Chains A and B, each alone.
Chain A
């Protein structure tokens, strides 16, 4: 089953409306809390990035604060994606997921739920509507590292995640990557 792009877009769009997000960075912690999740944050050695726990009406998102702040934001968004998209077991743990959003990696067998959650996270953290607003009329040279870094900082995401997103939206040419 291909990942449900339009469903993800719709969910993200509704969230952005509900939480009145007009400017980046998207307040991902506030949104997760607004959706009823408690956020447990603590440093943790190893590659555990986070978890989602659900029992009864209770939702807990765990975040490994040993990882970079942009990564923590991604983790929360990713777990929120699982929460809104998937009927997982009561405990779901994520380890160092790679940010792969291009459809051509689906053949590598990356779990569909994970791909959907990653997609959700990317859409939420770098909303199409905000990005469009930023890029329209602005004289930004997206091929400049400086510009990418500036935008990544503005959205609170990694430059890599941003570049993938820009490529996906056609703002950057597709490049051959391994």
Chain B
């Protein structure tokens, strides 16, 4: 559902504007949740993270609540700060989904990567 490609297909299709807005909202909400998790895992406060990437605490809070959209260069700084890969913070499933149909969205980004990699060793998806 939230596969990047699905997003693009919806965007290019004649799907209604409403749906697009909902999808976008959902995207930033989910991004915010992932970011919050990742920040907490690193033991950083909203203020700490903000300082390191050039945002004030309110902005960080808003981003985590999905109310504010993060800029691409800020996103890159966050990724570097938290020592993650960009995909760890993105609310889209990996394109190399090792086990189709398996929903890992309930896990933390780093855990998702661990599980996906472990399962990725499987014969049928190698």
Contact = CB atoms under 8 A, between A and B. Distances in A.
Interface of A: 38, 40, 42, 44-46, 48, 51, 53, 55-56, 58, 60, 62, 64, 90-91, 93
Given A53-B115, A60-B118, 14 more contacts: A40-B118, A44-B114, A45-B110, A46-B41, A46-B110, A48-B114, A53-B122, A56-B124, A60-B121, A62-B115, A62-B118, A90-B102, A91-B102, A93-B111
Contacts of B115: 51, 53, 62, 91, 93
A46 B111 contact: yes
B4 interface: no
A42 B115 CA distance: 10
Contacts, number: 53
B121 A38 contact: yes
A42 B121 CA distance: 12
A158 to B, nearest CB: 23
Contacts of A64: 114
A45 B41 contact: yes
Interface residues of B, number: 17
Contacts of B114: 42, 44, 48, 62, 64
A65 to B, nearest CB: 11
Contacts of B97: none
Contacts of B119: 40, 53, 60, 62, 91
A53 B119 CA distance: 7
A53 B104 CA distance: 12
B25 interface: no
B99 A55 contact: yes
A55 B111 contact: no
B114 to A, nearest CB: 5
B111 A44 contact: yes
7 contacts: A40-B118, A53-B119, A58-B123, A60-B118, A91-B115, A91-B119, A93-B111
